[in-house]
Amino acid sequence: METRSFSDYLRGLDDAGLLALFQARPDLVSPVPPDIASLAVRACSAPSVARALDTLNQWHFQVLEAAAVLHEPFAEKNVVALTEKAANFVIPQLIERGLMYPSDDGLRLPNSLREVLGNEAAGLGPASMAKLSLKKIDEAPESAKKVLERLIWGPPRGSVGDIRDPGPGVAWLLKENFLVPLDQRTVILPREVGIHLRGGKVHAHRQVTPPVIEGLKRDVKNIELAAVANIATILRWADEALEFWAEEPADALRSGGLGVRDLKTIAGHMGIDESCAAFIAELVYLAGLITIDADDRILPTNYFDIWLTQNPSDRWLALAAPWLTTSRVSGLVGRAEAKNTAALGPELDRVNAASTRKLVLSLLSQNPGIEPEIKTFTSLVQWWAPSKRNPGLQEEMISWTLREAEWLGITGQGCISKYGREFLDGGEILAIDQDLPSPVDHILIQSDNTAIAPGPLVHDVASVLAIIGDIESRGGATVYRFSEKTIRRGLDHGKTGDEILVFLRKTSKTPVPQPLEYLITDVAKKHGQLRVGNTSSFVRCEDPALITQIANDKRLEMLGMRRIAPEVMVCDMDAHDVMNVLRNAGYLPSVESKNGLMLTGQRSNRAKSKARLPRIIGEVEVPTDLTLAAALRSIRVGEKSSRKQSTLRNISQSALGALPRTTANETLDLLSKYIQEQKSLSIGYADNNGSVSHRIIDPVKVSAGSLIARDHGTGEMQTFRIPRITGVAPL
């Protein structure tokens, strides 16, 4: 068959060739095109070509750029002349991906490929319209040679003061057509001149092989110890963040993100920097553990309670699995170039985020035991993926991926861990359950009002300690400090002084110091003497002397309270604000309901709505072999239908002229005839909505007013109701 276009080339491919194309470019069959012509249009579209370029390594990309500067048609030897002999092995791979195709007179490129590569591929300008004598370049004056030196490796454009008086060097080059004026102030170096000056090559360094990683060799045992410590830490961070938001929900921004103030608050609570806090927020968001409810509050979902009951390996997988596949990039939060980018917001999607993560982890797996030096590792990643659509961001994304993989425990000391390898292989990672230290259910109270947790605490003990104590230091052992503020917080959560003492005596392996007992008893005795409600709000106390003290306290003048009874004062400020001001002034109020009851109790909120997981953009799922086979069959049938029915379309006179039209009797006669002859038929068939589609079938039998036949489009036996068949035509 004569090959005059890309469509003709695709029509000439056998099934194996088309399947190889679909495997390399899965977006071509999502959705499945109706025929070869539609497939060719999609394969030549700019978005599809850009995705295909993203799958090339640096050497493939350089060969393709060299082909793009040649006039079509061209031969393999022309590409080799501009690159290296190794290009002979690359050209068949580019043809397999549909980025180059053979025609009758040589090799050609799809229509939009040069567009996607840019007008100045490899830093070369446009082809010259005039005939050039390149030997004259050797005779160029020194001033002209200096101009050429600045333009050799691109960009090929240069500025001049005035094209009418550009200077002697530029004037000589313009006269010999070695420079071409673009406008009054810009000149450009023609492609032929650039290649000649580069020594007949397109690139200064032909990167045929990938660069070698440099780095430190790490001990395997230390790698695994560091990784399991990171896993324990990430689970604790997630737990702390969710427990904090359960008690004090953060307010979402109008755009749906987490505000800077709330991010600083959660970072300070957890004792980590804001970039790490943004990463934790994104992790629990991706895992469906938090959501933004109808009141624009960021709250844990009910799945958080289920998550707490799971094994550590399952909890870790729930965090790590969506991180690997998401298109969201938490590293953008707080970046100087993206000041308005917020965690949980809609601005974090990047089209190549997931593919960059997978590539980084894959390269770490291929170099086990080596902590890569960032510069050489970045060069290696960029060799494998030179044409990413966020080129200015790719270097940062590589460093962010390395950092986040370390936080997650996929790596330890910068090297891939056994948990990371098993995770990438799709395993259940049961080793996490065995290697993590068992949770402890006790603490050691010290004489300075601190308590040491000698390991990770069971959740029930940790949740109570988080209320009645502040974490002073973290690590293998966690130190909690008890103070008047933390004891009051425990009382606000519904604990009594006696309950706090019973908990500490039961949990601690050491006796509760007497000063701590006195502190708890004293704070519990004062707690609740003041009660605050809404008038906007009121302050009530059974001790008139305390009310008098508050009324005369200069620090409370901002509240603007007035006394309406010996035991009652009212205020225009909200009850929550009044509570905070009184506490900051050293008083210990509690909240009172409209019925006069003191409101205490643990505030562990949950979102009423289900988690709305963020979208994933930029990735096309790799189809299975069965899906590819079905797509190929559908395209072949569509191509057969469009070719065989062209005559019928031309001669049809009805409104449905593109479809076969026969009477009921003719339909039955033709069906009976072709069932006996076992030949394929083309039919028009109306569905439940009245839409008529074209089908190619192999009729088997007619039974009870229905036709049983094998549909070429699905490859399956189907039943067609005869009254819905609009017509039958032989192929």
Q: Which residue has the tokens 């050293």?
A: 586
The position carrying tokens 């004792």 is 271
Phi (first) and psi of residue 615, to 5 degrees: -70, 165
For residue 323, pLDDT over 90 is answered with yes
Q: Report which secondary-structure segment, H or E, holds 8.
A: helix 6-11
Q: Which tokens belong to 691?
A: 């839409």
pLDDT for res 598: 63
**Residue 278 phi, psi dihedral angles, 5° rounding:** -65, -40
Q: pLDDT confidence of 59, banded at 50, 70, 90?
A: very high
- Using the 8-state DSSP alphabet, how is residue 27 labeled? G
Q: Which helix (H) or strand (E) holds 717?
A: strand 717-721
645-730 is a CATH 2.30.30.100 domain: yes
Asked which of 157-166, 422-431, 506-515, 594-603 is least confident by mean pLDDT, the reply is 594-603
Q: Which of 374-378, 533-537, 571-575 has the lowest mean pLDDT?
A: 533-537
Share of the chain above pLDDT 70, in %: 93
Per-residue confidence at 641, pLDDT binned at 50, 70, 90? low
pLDDT at 653: 35
* Phi-psi region at 198: left, alpha or beta (left = phi > 0; alpha = psi -120 to 50): alpha
pLDDT at site 613: 74
Please state the rounded mean pLDDT for residues 418-443.
88
Residue 387: pLDDT band with limits 50, 70, 90: low
Encode pLDDT of 336-350 as tens digits: 666 678 899 888 888
Say if residues 398 and 377 touch (Cβ distance below 8 Å): yes
Cα–Cα distance, 195 to 73 (Å, whole number): 19
- pLDDT for position 402: 95
Cα(326)–Cα(271) distance, integer angstroms: 26
Torsion of CA 80, 84, 85, 88, to 10 degrees: -60
Q: For residues 153-178, give the mean pLDDT.
A: 85
Say if residues 114 and 47 touch (Cβ distance below 8 Å): no
Distance, in Å, from the CA atom of 284 to the CA atom of 286, rounded to the nearest integer, reads: 5
* Average pLDDT over the chain, rounded to an integer: 85
What are the pLDDT digits (tens) for 650-677?
443 333 345 777 787 788 888 888 887 7
User: Does the pLDDT of residue 530 top 80, yes or no?
Assistant: no
Between 20 and 691, the higher pLDDT residue: 20
Read off the pLDDT of each residue in 384-412 and give the average, rounded to a whole number.
85
Query: For the chain, what's the residue count?
Result: 731
The CA distance from 13 to 474, in Å, is 63
450 closest CA partner among 473, 429, 421: 473
CA distance 609 to 425: 34
Tell me the per-residue pLDDT of 109-147, one tens digit each, with 9 for 90 and over: 998 898 888 888 888 988 888 888 888 888 888 888 888
DSSP bridge pairs for 718: 709
Q: Is the pLDDT of residue 643 over 70?
A: no
Q: pLDDT at residue 171 above 80?
A: yes
C-alpha to C-alpha distance for 36 and 42, rounded to whole angstroms: 10
Range of weakest confidence among 137-151, 294-308, 378-392: 378-392
The predicted structure's pLDDT at residue 652: 38
Residue 540 zone, left/alpha/beta (φ > 0; ψ -120 to 50; rest): beta
**Bond prior to 566 in cis (omega within 30° of 0):** no
pTM: 0.74
Residues 74, 223 contacting (CB under 8 angstroms): no
pLDDT value at residue 223 = 94
Per-residue pLDDT, 413: 92
Distance between CA atoms of 132 and 259, rounded to whole angstroms? 62
> For residue 3, is pLDDT > 80?
no
Contact present, 359 and 324 (Cβ < 8 Å): no
CB neighbours of 261 closer than 8 A, spacing ≥ 6? none
Q: Which pLDDT value is given to residue 167? A: 84
Does residue 573 or residue 273 have the better pLDDT?
A: 273
Query: Tokens for 630?
Result: 């079905």
pLDDT at 170: 87
Q: Is 480 helix (H, G, I), strand (E, B) or coil?
A: strand
Is the separation of the CB atoms in 323 and 283 below 8 Å?
yes
